[in-house]
Structure formats: C-alpha cells, structure tokens
Amino acid sequence: MNYLAHTVLSKKDIDYQLGNLLADPLKGKAWAGCSPSHLDGIQMHGWIDSFTDTNQHVRRAKTRLGTKGYLKGVVIDITFDHLLIKHWKHFINTDINKFIHTFHINSLKQLDTLPKQAADFIKRIIAHNVLSSYEDYSGLVSALQRIDHRLSPRILAKETASSYLPLIASNLESIEEDFLLFFPELAHYFIDKSSSTAHERWLK
C-alpha cells in the first residue's frame, strides 16, 4: 500500500502515523528519540506490506498489468490509494479533507523531533499535498510520471511506471473490484494486529 493507506491504517496517534509512514524512507529503522508509538507504527508498516504482498486479490490486480515487470507492485499500490480516496466514506469514519489537514498540522509540530531525511520527506508530502493528489485519475497519472523521474537509468532501460497507464485505464474497473475485495481484509488485519478499539482508529 502507498502513503495514504499507511497513514490511515494507523491509530489516532501522530507518532504511530509517522512511524507507519516513515518506515519506507527510513528503511524500517528506528531513530534516536523514537517513542513506543513510533515503533508500533514502524512494525505495523511491515505487517501491512507483508499482508499486501501475499494477498490473492493484490496478486490478481498485478496480473492485470501483464506477466512481467519490476514496477507493477508500486503501480498497484498507487492505484489502490486512488481507489481508497474514491471509496473513502465506505471505509473511514472521518472526512478525508479533515483527516489530511489534521495529519499535516500534527506532523509539522513533530518535525524537530525527526531525522533530517524524515523531516524533509514530511515537508514534501505536505508541500505537494501528496495524500490527496491521487483523488482524480489525472493525479494518478502525474504520480506515476513523478516516479519515472526518480528511477535509475538501469530500471528506465527496462520500463517506466507511466508505461502501465494504458493497462490501468483498460483494466481499472477490474482492479477496482480487486481493491474492494482486498481492502476489507486488510482493514480487519490491521484491527486485529493493532488491537485497536473503534475510538482509537480511523477505520469504521
């Protein structure tokens, strides 16, 4: 799953959310001053990724983008964030704009406690309004094009993220069906692993 999913599949605790979101850019490593909630968020990120990577609905969604390709997982992750926004009210118990605004405000208050790499990452997330940028299909297109700019020459010689756009467009309805089967399973998995009550989480 991508940035938005990791942020919302968290307890209502900014440290937990930041740990969950920052696990990728910090490669799952704790930093000096990590709180227990940061560590719980980092651990949850790993659990979410493992569950996602082995889920049958996610595997089927990837096959809709062809039989080969290094970037299919990343492309499906971002497409699923797009679909999460589309179906937000079905799964999440607060307005998406309020959720993102609250995350931005609370994250900014934590910047001084984070490593520079993590703080810079959060600043970019906020400055470019990344969490809501996939709401429209055009935002999904832009996100994949941005990934292309960060790819190494070795990967670019084989494929680009944006090269999957025709397959996404022609299979989006089926990928959406995969998502709607997958996300409830992921939500239940998060609730079980986090032992969170309804008042402690964003999920319905």
Mean pLDDT of the chain: 95
Per-residue pLDDT at 172: 97
Q: Which residue, chain included where needed, has tokens 């959310």?
A: 17
Distance CA 191, CA 198 (A): 9
What is the band of 67 on the pLDDT scale with cuts at 50, 70, 90?
confident
What is the band of 77 on the pLDDT scale with cuts at 50, 70, 90?
very high
Distance CA 24, CA 2 (A): 10
Range(s) of the domain holding residue 72: 3-196
Structure tokens at 56: 């049958």
pLDDT tops 80 at residue 110: yes
With a CB cutoff of 8 Å and minimum separation 6, the contacts of 54 are none
Q: Is residue 145 part of a domain?
A: yes
Using the 8-state DSSP alphabet, how is residue 64 labeled? T
Q: 31-40: per-residue pLDDT in tens?
A: 988 999 999 9
Q: Is residue 79 part of a domain?
A: yes
Distance CA 182, CA 79 (A): 13
Q: Is residue 203 part of a domain?
A: no
Domain count, the chain: 1
pLDDT tops 80 at residue 193: yes
Q: Is residue 128 part of a domain?
A: yes
Backbone φ and ψ for 201, nearest 5 degrees, come out as -130, 165
Distance CA 94, CA 89 (A): 8
Per-residue pLDDT at 68: 86
Q: Is residue 119 part of a domain?
A: yes
Total residue length of the chain: 204
Q: Is residue 135 part of a domain?
A: yes
| End-to-end alpha carbon distance in the chain | 19
Let me know the angle formed at the C-alpha of 111 by 17 and 89, rounded to the nearest 5 degrees: 30
- What CA–CA distances, in Å, run from 17 to 157, 172, 203? 36, 29, 13
> SS3 of 13, please?
coil
pLDDT tops 80 at residue 113: yes
Q: Is residue 201 part of a domain?
A: no
- Mean pLDDT, to the nearest integer, of 2-27? 96
Looking at residue 39, its amino acid is L
- Mean pLDDT, to the nearest integer, of 86-113? 97
Q: 132-176: per-residue pLDDT in tens?
A: 998 999 999 999 999 999 999 999 999 999 999 999 999 999 999
Number of Cα atoms under 13 Å in the Cβ half of residue 200: 11
pLDDT tops 90 at residue 198: yes
pTM for the structure as a whole: 0.95
Distance CA 22, CA 45 (A): 9
Closest CA to 45 of 197, 183, 196, 189: 189
Sign of the alpha-carbon dihedral angle for 169, 73, 47, 120: negative
Per-residue pLDDT at 1: 74
Q: Is residue 204 part of a domain?
A: no
